[in-house]
Protein backbone atom coordinates (compact mmCIF):
# COMPACT_ATOMS: atom_id res chain seq x y z
CA UNK A 1 0.00 0.00 0.00
CA UNK A 2 1.24 3.44 -0.87
CA UNK A 3 -0.82 6.47 0.10
CA UNK A 4 1.60 8.95 -1.40
CA UNK A 5 1.48 8.14 -5.09
CA UNK A 6 -1.14 10.76 -5.94
CA UNK A 7 -2.30 11.53 -9.46
CA UNK A 8 0.26 10.95 -12.21
CA UNK A 9 1.01 13.56 -14.86
CA UNK A 10 2.25 13.65 -18.45
CA UNK A 11 5.52 15.18 -17.23
CA UNK A 12 6.49 12.35 -14.89
CA UNK A 13 5.48 9.25 -16.91
CA UNK A 14 6.79 7.06 -19.69
CA UNK A 15 4.63 4.56 -21.62
CA UNK A 16 6.04 1.04 -22.04
CA UNK A 17 4.36 -1.26 -24.60
CA UNK A 18 5.47 -4.88 -24.72
CA UNK A 19 4.67 -7.79 -27.05
CA UNK A 20 1.54 -6.54 -28.83
CA UNK A 21 2.13 -9.18 -31.47
CA UNK A 22 -0.34 -11.25 -33.51
CA UNK A 23 0.34 -14.60 -31.77
CA UNK A 24 -0.22 -13.03 -28.34
CA UNK A 25 -3.45 -11.42 -29.54
CA UNK A 26 -4.71 -14.68 -30.97
CA UNK A 27 -4.74 -16.57 -27.67
CA UNK A 28 -6.45 -13.91 -25.52
CA UNK A 29 -9.52 -15.22 -23.69
CA UNK A 30 -9.98 -12.67 -20.87
CA UNK A 31 -12.57 -9.95 -20.30
CA UNK A 32 -11.58 -7.23 -22.78
CA UNK A 33 -12.14 -8.25 -26.43
CA UNK A 34 -8.99 -8.19 -28.58
CA UNK A 35 -10.37 -5.45 -30.84
CA UNK A 36 -10.85 -3.21 -27.80
CA UNK A 37 -7.38 -4.05 -26.44
CA UNK A 38 -5.96 -2.99 -29.81
CA UNK A 39 -7.98 0.24 -29.85
CA UNK A 40 -7.11 1.07 -26.23
CA UNK A 41 -3.41 0.49 -26.95
CA UNK A 42 -3.58 2.69 -30.04
CA UNK A 43 -5.23 5.39 -27.92
CA UNK A 44 -2.48 5.18 -25.28
CA UNK A 45 0.15 5.55 -28.04
CA UNK A 46 -1.64 8.50 -29.67
CA UNK A 47 -2.16 10.26 -26.36
CA UNK A 48 1.46 9.69 -25.30
CA UNK A 49 2.62 11.28 -28.55
CA UNK A 50 0.17 14.17 -28.22
CA UNK A 51 1.29 14.88 -24.63
CA UNK A 52 5.06 14.29 -25.17
CA UNK A 53 5.15 11.21 -22.98
CA UNK A 54 8.16 9.07 -23.98
CA UNK A 55 7.37 5.60 -25.33
CA UNK A 56 9.39 2.38 -25.11
CA UNK A 57 8.30 -0.40 -27.48
CA UNK A 58 9.45 -3.99 -27.22
CA UNK A 59 8.76 -7.34 -28.91
CA UNK A 60 9.79 -10.92 -28.26
CA UNK A 61 11.10 -13.50 -30.71
CA UNK A 62 11.00 -11.40 -33.88
CA UNK A 63 14.75 -11.47 -34.60
CA UNK A 64 14.79 -15.23 -34.15
CA UNK A 65 11.98 -15.52 -36.71
CA UNK A 66 9.64 -17.30 -34.31
CA UNK A 67 7.07 -14.53 -33.90
CA UNK A 68 5.72 -11.74 -36.10
CA UNK A 69 6.30 -8.07 -35.21
CA UNK A 70 4.01 -5.58 -33.45
CA UNK A 71 0.36 -5.71 -34.61
CA UNK A 72 0.23 -3.42 -37.69
CA UNK A 73 -2.55 -1.13 -36.42
CA UNK A 74 -0.54 -0.47 -33.24
CA UNK A 75 2.80 -0.14 -35.06
CA UNK A 76 1.15 2.47 -37.32
CA UNK A 77 0.67 4.72 -34.26
CA UNK A 78 4.32 4.37 -33.26
CA UNK A 79 6.17 5.69 -36.28
CA UNK A 80 9.78 6.55 -35.47
CA UNK A 81 9.90 4.30 -32.40
CA UNK A 82 12.26 1.37 -32.87
CA UNK A 83 11.06 -1.82 -31.21
CA UNK A 84 13.55 -3.52 -28.90
CA UNK A 85 13.38 -7.22 -29.67
CA UNK A 86 14.16 -9.71 -26.90
CA UNK A 87 14.46 -13.40 -26.30
CA UNK A 88 13.58 -13.21 -22.59
CA UNK A 89 9.99 -12.91 -21.41
CA UNK A 90 11.37 -10.79 -18.57
CA UNK A 91 12.00 -7.50 -20.34
CA UNK A 92 14.29 -6.30 -17.56
CA UNK A 93 16.76 -9.12 -18.35
CA UNK A 94 17.38 -7.37 -21.64
CA UNK A 95 20.05 -4.69 -21.44
CA UNK A 96 18.78 -2.67 -24.41
CA UNK A 97 15.32 -2.58 -22.82
CA UNK A 98 16.65 -1.49 -19.42
CA UNK A 99 18.70 1.25 -21.07
CA UNK A 100 15.76 2.46 -23.17
CA UNK A 101 13.61 2.73 -20.06
CA UNK A 102 16.36 4.57 -18.16
CA UNK A 103 16.92 6.89 -21.16
CA UNK A 104 13.35 8.20 -20.89
CA UNK A 105 14.44 9.92 -17.68
CA UNK A 106 11.06 9.06 -16.14
CA UNK A 107 10.61 7.19 -12.84
CA UNK A 108 6.92 6.43 -13.35
CA UNK A 109 6.25 3.74 -15.93
CA UNK A 110 2.84 2.94 -17.38
CA UNK A 111 2.78 -0.57 -18.80
CA UNK A 112 0.68 -2.23 -21.42
CA UNK A 113 1.74 -5.73 -22.47
CA UNK A 114 0.53 -9.07 -23.69
CA UNK A 115 -0.10 -11.21 -21.89
CA UNK A 116 -1.12 -10.12 -18.43
CA UNK A 117 0.28 -12.98 -16.35
CA UNK A 118 3.58 -13.34 -18.20
CA UNK A 119 5.33 -10.50 -20.00
CA UNK A 120 3.28 -7.76 -18.33
CA UNK A 121 3.71 -9.18 -14.84
CA UNK A 122 7.42 -9.86 -15.16
CA UNK A 123 8.13 -6.33 -16.43
CA UNK A 124 6.02 -4.61 -13.78
CA UNK A 125 7.39 -6.65 -10.88
CA UNK A 126 10.97 -6.01 -11.99
CA UNK A 127 10.28 -2.30 -12.52
CA UNK A 128 9.02 -2.02 -8.93
CA UNK A 129 12.06 -3.92 -7.66
CA UNK A 130 14.30 -1.54 -9.62
CA UNK A 131 12.71 1.42 -7.83
CA UNK A 132 10.29 2.68 -10.47
CA UNK A 133 6.64 3.45 -9.78
CA UNK A 134 4.59 1.21 -12.03
CA UNK A 135 1.08 1.45 -13.39
CA UNK A 136 -0.65 -1.09 -15.63
CA UNK A 137 -3.66 -0.66 -17.90
CA UNK A 138 -6.24 -3.37 -17.19
CA UNK A 139 -8.27 -2.87 -20.37
CA UNK A 140 -5.28 -2.70 -22.71
CA UNK A 141 -3.99 -6.11 -21.60
CA UNK A 142 -5.27 -9.67 -21.52
CA UNK A 143 -4.36 -13.26 -20.76
CA UNK A 144 -5.09 -16.77 -22.03
CA UNK A 145 -7.95 -17.12 -19.58
CA UNK A 146 -9.92 -14.89 -17.28
CA UNK A 147 -8.39 -16.44 -14.18
CA UNK A 148 -4.88 -15.98 -15.56
CA UNK A 149 -5.61 -12.32 -16.25
CA UNK A 150 -7.25 -11.71 -12.86
CA UNK A 151 -4.54 -13.59 -10.96
CA UNK A 152 -1.90 -11.37 -12.49
CA UNK A 153 -3.87 -8.20 -11.76
CA UNK A 154 -4.01 -9.35 -8.14
CA UNK A 155 -0.27 -10.09 -8.09
CA UNK A 156 0.61 -6.73 -9.61
CA UNK A 157 -1.63 -4.79 -7.23
CA UNK A 158 -0.26 -6.57 -4.18
CA UNK A 159 3.29 -5.85 -5.29
CA UNK A 160 2.54 -2.13 -5.27
CA UNK A 161 1.68 -1.43 -8.89
CA UNK A 162 -1.25 0.87 -9.67
CA UNK A 163 -4.14 -0.46 -11.78
CA UNK A 164 -5.62 1.97 -14.27
CA UNK A 165 -7.64 1.95 -17.49
CA UNK A 166 -6.85 3.44 -20.89
CA UNK A 167 -9.34 6.24 -20.31
CA UNK A 168 -8.06 6.75 -16.78
CA UNK A 169 -4.48 7.10 -18.05
CA UNK A 170 -5.35 9.57 -20.79
CA UNK A 171 -7.53 11.71 -18.53
CA UNK A 172 -4.91 11.55 -15.76
CA UNK A 173 -2.24 12.79 -18.17
CA UNK A 174 -4.09 15.95 -19.21
CA UNK A 175 -6.61 16.22 -16.32
CA UNK A 176 -7.93 19.72 -16.92
CA UNK A 177 -10.27 20.66 -19.77
CA UNK A 178 -8.97 24.23 -19.41
CA UNK A 179 -5.33 23.20 -18.86
CA UNK A 180 -2.30 23.36 -21.19
CA UNK A 181 -2.93 19.91 -22.73
CA UNK A 182 -6.66 20.39 -23.31
CA UNK A 183 -6.27 21.33 -26.98
CA UNK A 184 -4.21 18.21 -27.66
CA UNK A 185 -6.61 16.10 -25.59
CA UNK A 186 -9.75 17.04 -27.50
CA UNK A 187 -8.92 15.49 -30.92
CA UNK A 188 -7.25 12.38 -29.47
CA UNK A 189 -10.19 11.76 -27.11
CA UNK A 190 -12.69 12.61 -29.83
CA UNK A 191 -11.08 10.06 -32.14
CA UNK A 192 -11.34 7.35 -29.46
CA UNK A 193 -14.97 8.04 -28.60
CA UNK A 194 -15.98 7.76 -32.27
CA UNK A 195 -14.00 4.51 -32.71
CA UNK A 196 -15.31 2.69 -29.61
CA UNK A 197 -18.84 2.02 -30.92
CA UNK A 198 -17.35 0.33 -34.01
CA UNK A 199 -15.59 -2.16 -31.73
CA UNK A 200 -17.90 -2.81 -28.77
CA UNK A 201 -21.23 -1.85 -27.25
CA UNK A 202 -19.98 -2.58 -23.72
CA UNK A 203 -18.47 0.87 -23.17
CA UNK A 204 -20.89 3.70 -22.41
CA UNK A 205 -20.71 7.02 -24.24
CA UNK A 206 -23.12 9.91 -23.67
CA UNK A 207 -24.80 11.50 -26.70
CA UNK A 208 -23.30 14.89 -25.87
CA UNK A 209 -19.84 13.29 -25.80
CA UNK A 210 -20.35 11.81 -29.24
CA UNK A 211 -21.45 15.20 -30.57
CA UNK A 212 -18.41 16.90 -29.02
CA UNK A 213 -16.11 14.15 -30.33
CA UNK A 214 -17.40 14.62 -33.86
CA UNK A 215 -17.01 18.37 -33.54
CA UNK A 216 -13.43 17.99 -32.28
CA UNK A 217 -12.55 15.76 -35.23
CA UNK A 218 -14.17 18.09 -37.77
CA UNK A 219 -12.30 21.10 -36.37
Residue 128 CB, nearest approach to another protein (Å) = 13
- The pair phi, psi for residue 200, each rounded to 5°, is -155, 150
Which positions ≥6 away from 58 have C-beta within 8 Å? 16, 17, 18, 19, 83, 84, 85, 86, 91, 94, 97, 100
Residue 86 CB, nearest approach to another protein (Å) = 28
Which residues between 192 and 211 bind another protein (CB under 8 A)? 202-209
Is residue 7 close enough to count as binding another protein by CB under 8 A? yes
Report the distance separating Cα 136 and Cα 124, nearest Å: 8
DSSP 135-151: EEEGGG-B-SSHHHHHH
By beta-carbon proximity to another protein, the closer residue of 94 and 209 is 209
Q: How many amino acids of this chain bind another protein (CB under 8 A)? A: 37
Which residues between 19 and 78 bind another protein (CB under 8 A)? 31-32
Q: Which of 52, 146, 176, 183 binds another protein (CB under 8 A)?
A: 176
Q: Which of 138, 184, 189, 213 binds another protein (CB under 8 A)?
A: 138
Residue 206 CB, nearest approach to another protein (Å) = 4
Which residues between 155 and 174 bind another protein (CB under 8 A)? 157-158, 160, 162-165, 167-168, 171-172
Q: How many CB atoms lie within 10 A of CB 180?
A: 11
Side-by-side strand order, sheet with 162-164: 84-86, 55-60, 13-18, 108-113, 133-137, 162-164
- The pair phi, psi for residue 13, each rounded to 5°, is -110, 155
By beta-carbon proximity to another protein, the closer residue of 94 and 172 is 172
Applying CB under 8 A, the residues found at the interface with another protein are 1-7, 31-32, 138-139, 153, 157-158, 160, 162-165, 167-168, 171-172, 175-179, 202-209, 212
Amino acid sequence: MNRNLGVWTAEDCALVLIDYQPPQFESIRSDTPTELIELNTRWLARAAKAFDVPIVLSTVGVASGRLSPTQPAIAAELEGIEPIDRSSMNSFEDQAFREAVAATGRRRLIFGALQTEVCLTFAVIEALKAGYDAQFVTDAVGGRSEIAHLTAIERLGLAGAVPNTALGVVVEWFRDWAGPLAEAARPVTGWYLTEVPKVTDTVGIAEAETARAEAALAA
